[in-house]
Amino acid sequence: MSYLGPEFDQPRPGGPRRPRRGPLTVALAALVPGALLGWVVYETVGSSDGGGSDQAAVRSATASPTTSAPLLPSYPGEDDKQSGASAGPSARTGSSAPAASGSGSGSLKGKVVVIDPGHNPGNFQHASEINRKVDIGTNRKECDTTGTSTNAGYTEARFTLDVAHRLRTLLEQQGATVKLTHDDGSPSWGPCVDERARIGNAAHADAAVSIHADGAAPGDRGFHVILPGPVHAGAADTRPIVPASKDLGERIAGNFVRVTGEPPSNYLGGGTGLVTREDLGGLNLSTVPKVFIECGNMRDSKDAASLTSGTWRQKAAEGISAGIVSFLRGS
């Protein structure tokens, strides 16, 4: 957010052929039933996971340590996109607040998480709409902005949606009900920052996280988590959510650096990876624990290399998820 306003072959059964040697015929014939039985068992077990031992290993490596989660779907990124592959789960269209979803089981059953992907890929075509001023409590600011991009043109809006999809999958595997403020072109622009806050409020979210990437000067590196300051003005009153939001933000920051290896910002937050602000409508108008995370600086070549990597974006989602899970469990 660079504005002042708002990604084998299955072994085949079988064994050595039975040689035609008269003296051994009877002995070998006695072994055939056992071999056939072993083959049947092999085929049954092998076909049950649809891919043999290699897929089982992948399934073990990607499952949550606390749940028997299914194999994670692979969301192709901008650098690992396959022809004809979807960029994420099927879009939930029809309103600016896509329907919530959840697996209904797991350690986060009953918990609601709202994910707010910063900006919208369609904002570029709706300048007049996103420039409209909205009330953020302390003053009036733009409805939204286009966000930033890497020097090669990979936009913040595409980045945030990709990470949001990955994060949604991880949280749903834990049993949480997850709601996105917008998804895959619905709506075609926005929502405005005040509406993004209201979506979290209306969902009675246990935690809300707005995902961004920064557009600072080259050489400025690292992530930072933005916490709401104590605002009490107009329609804004963050005082009830400040302590919980700080707890949420600290847990996300700690897990983000641990999982991704991305350093805390060297230009904001004094090396803590935490920044408090009172000028963001998405925080000012929230009545539920909420933070922003700037995952890195898109204008720095080292950070851009990470942000444009599908592998790294998966780690980013895992780090954010770990922080949210820790917060919701209170552990």
Active site residues: 294
Query: What is the phi/psi pair of residue 288, to 5°?
Result: -125, 155
Quote the tokens at residue 118: 């910063």
User: HSE of 121 in the Cβ direction (CA atoms, 13 Å)?
Assistant: 12
Strand, coil or helix: 20? coil
Order of strands, sheet of 207-214, starting from the edge strand that comes earlier in the sequence: 101-102, 177-180, 112-117, 207-214, 290-297, 224-228, 274-277
Reported in sequence order, the residue ranges of the chain that DSSP labels E, i.e. its strands, are 101-102, 112-117, 133-135, 140-142, 177-180, 207-214, 224-228, 232-233, 236-237, 274-277, 290-297
**Distance separating alpha carbons of residues 135 and 142, to the nearest angstrom:** 9
DSSP one-letter code for 65? T
**Distance separating alpha carbons of residues 292 and 290, to the nearest angstrom:** 7
**For residues 56, 62, 67 and 71, what is the CA-based torsion angle, rounded to 10 degrees?**
-60
**Distance separating alpha carbons of residues 326 and 17, to the nearest angstrom:** 57
Place of tokens 């920044």: 275
Q: What angle do CA 180, 249, 176 make, to 5 degrees?
A: 40
* 310-329 vs 242-260: helix crossing angle, rounded to 10: 140
Residue 101 CB coordination number (10 Å) = 15
DSSP one-letter code for 235? T
Q: If phi over 0 gives left and psi between -120 and 50 gives alpha, with beta otherwise, what is residue 180?
A: beta
